[in-house]
Structure 1
Amino acid sequence: MIKDSSDDDIVFGPAASESDVPNEDLGGEELDGDDLDGDDTGGEVRIGEEVFRDIVVPESANGQRIDFFLTQACDGFSRTQITQAIQAEGATLDGRTVRPSVRIQASQRIRFRMPEPPTDDTVPENIPLDVLYEDDGLVVVNKPPGMVVHPARGNWTGTLTSALAFRFQSLSDVGGPTRPGIVHRLDRDTSGVIVVAKTNAVHMHLSEQFANRVVEKEYFAITAARIDRDRDIIDMPIGRHPYQRDKMAIREHHETSKPASTFYEVISRHGRFTQVRVKPKTGRTHQIRVHLSHLGAAILCDRLYAGHAEVTMGMLTGTHDETKDKVLLDRQALHARKLTFEHPQSGKSMTFEAPLPADIMRVVNVLERLP
C-alpha cells in the first residue's frame, strides 16, 4: 500500500499477503468466554441464531459507561459497533434495557447481544452511485458525503466498495479483497471525485501516477475564519498528533513527520467565512484540514480541527431566532471538485469535475447573501 495522497486520500497499490455461567432456563449453547481484569466476566450463550454475552461487572469497571466497558470486554468490535448494538436494545443491565451512556456498578449483571462479526470480503449492496464516467478500464464516481470508501473497523456495510461490487462485474483486485477497484480514498465526510480501476493494469498505472504526484487534485472548501491573503503555498510538515491518535498536526523534526505542501486561492470572503480553492501538491493524511487549521482558518464543520460539527443559518448570519436554527451542514465543508490524470489506456489527459453537493450549496447560498 502506498500512502501518498491529498487530504484524507490514500493510494492503494499491491496488497500485502494476509496470511458466571449462563442462565440455565435459556436453553442456549454455552460458548467460550474470557476474563477481564481477573474478575468473573461470564461467558457466551447462543440462543437460536443470536449470541449473547453475560457479564458480571467487576470492581475495576465501577462507574464506567456501559459502551466503553463492553468495547474493552468484547474483542474485535469497535466502540461504534458496540454503541449501535446497545442502541438497538442489545444490552440489559440487571434485566433492564439501557442506553449506551448508562454508568455501570460493580456486581451488576449485563446481558449483551453480540453484533454480527465482520467478513473479510466485500459484500455487494444495491446502493445508488453517481457515475461521472465509465469505460472498459475505469470508473469515475462522485462520492456522496457520509459514505466510507472501503470496509474497516466499525464500518462494514454501506461502503463505496459494496456499491461498486454490486454494480460492476469486474474490478481490480490489486488492493485486496476488501478494496476491489480502489486506487485512492476520500474520507467519509469528504465528497467528490474518486477514480476506480476495473483491471489490474489500469490500477497499477493509476497508482503510479498518484505516487509520482502527477495527478492534479482540486478541492473546494469553506473555512470558519477569514483568510487575508488571496493566495499562498503552505509548506509545513505533517505528522501524528502528539496525544490525539485520530488527528494529525504540524510537527517538525518528528519521526512521523513528512513534508507537505498545499496551494490555496481565495474564491470569495463573506464576513468571517471564506470560500477557497485548494490544490495539494503533496499528499498527507488530513493535509488540507491541518494546513488550513494552521492558518487559523479551519474548515467549517470539521469536527476534529474546527471544534464544531454543524452550522445553522443563524450561526452564519449572526442571528439566533427559531426560524434560523435549522442545520444547514453537519459535516466538514470539503469537496473533491476536480481530478485530472492520464488515461492508462489512451494516454490522454482527462479531467473530471463533481458539482458542489446540496449541503455545501446551502451554505454557499446563505454566505453569498451576506453583506
Structure 2
Amino acid sequence: MIQEAVILFLDEKGFIPIFGCPAIKRNLLLLNQLGIKKIVILGKPQLYERLSDIPELGNFVFCPARTEVLENLLQDMIKGEKVLLLKANHVLDKSCLHRLINKCSENENLCLLEGEGKEPIFLCQKEELKKIVQAFLEEKEIASFVKEAERIKGSSGLPYVLTQTEDRKKAEHMLVKALSSEKRETDSFIAKNFDRNISLFITKRLVNTSISPNQVTLIGMSIGLVGAFLLSFPKYWFQLLGAFLFLFCVIVDGVDGEIARLKLKESVFGHYLDIITDNLVHVAIFVGMGIGLYKKTGNHLYLTLIWVLLIGFGLCAISVYQCILKKSEQELNRSPFLIRAMSFLTNRDF
C-alpha cells in the first residue's frame, strides 16, 4: 500500500474548480480517502496563503518548492517505499489511482499513469522523485527519465491536466464518463440499459449545484412515498401515477450515489441512509398496493397479506444483512449458490 504522496503546486491552475471544488482540494480529498498517510504539497508560498482559505482540506504538509527543501523531504520519507507524484491541476478519480497502485506498488520500476495530455502521474522511488521534481521546478523536459517506465492507461481520458479555466467542462465530462463506464460493469440489465442513462442525465444537471447527495436521497424517498400513497387509492389513474412515481424513485436512487462519487462526498451515514430509505419505500409501495386492492375489492385477504409482507420483509432484511451486506465482494463470489442467488435477487432490477 502506498503511504506517501507529493503534490506539485506551482501555479494557480490548481484552483480551477471541478464540480465546485478546487482541483487541489479534490486531489487532497482523494488521497485522504485512499488512506495515504503522508501528503506533502510542494508549492509557492503565495499559493499557500490562498490555499489556507479553503475549508476542509484534510491532512497535508505544505513545503516551499525549493531544492534544499526537497532534500530534507526525501530524508524523512520511508526507505524503499514508492511515492505517488501528481500536480495540483491533475483531474482523476479513485479507479485510476487504484489501477496504478494495484499494478505497480510492488514493482520497483518507475510507473506512469497516462491519460489525455502530456503530463502523467508518477509512482516512483525516492531517487526518481528527486530528479522528476527538480525537472519540473527547473521547467526541463522529463522525457529522458521515463523512457524505461511502465505505462498504465487511465480510463475515459483520465488523468487530465487543467491548463486553463475552460478545461473544466471537459474534465467534468471525463469524470462522468469514467463513472458511467465503471457502474455499467456491475449494473444489472435494466439498470445498465435504462435507469443509469436517465440517472446520469439528472446527475449532470445537479452535480454543479449546492444540493447534497443526502438531500437527493430524501427527495427520492419522498417521491417513492407519494407513489405508495397514490397506489392506496382504488382509482386506475391514481394507481398508474403511483407506479410511475415508484419507477422514477428507483431512477433517482442512483443519482445520490453518482453525485457523492463525483464530488467525493461518500460517507458511512449516506450509505446507511440510502439503504434505510430504499427499504422504507419498498415496504410502503407494497402496503399501498395492498390497501388499494382492498378498497377496490373489499377482500380482507389483502389486509392479511400486508401483515405477511411486513413479517417477511423483516426476516428478509435480517437475512440479507447477515448473508450479503456483511460480506465483501470477494467473499460473496465464493459463497454458496443460495447466497449468490439472494444477492442477484436484491439488485436494482428487482
Which TM-score band applies after superposition, normalised by the shorter structure? under 0.3
The structure in which a higher percent of residues are helix is: 2
Asked which structure has the greater CA Rg, the reply is: 2
The structure in which a higher percent of residues are strand is: 1
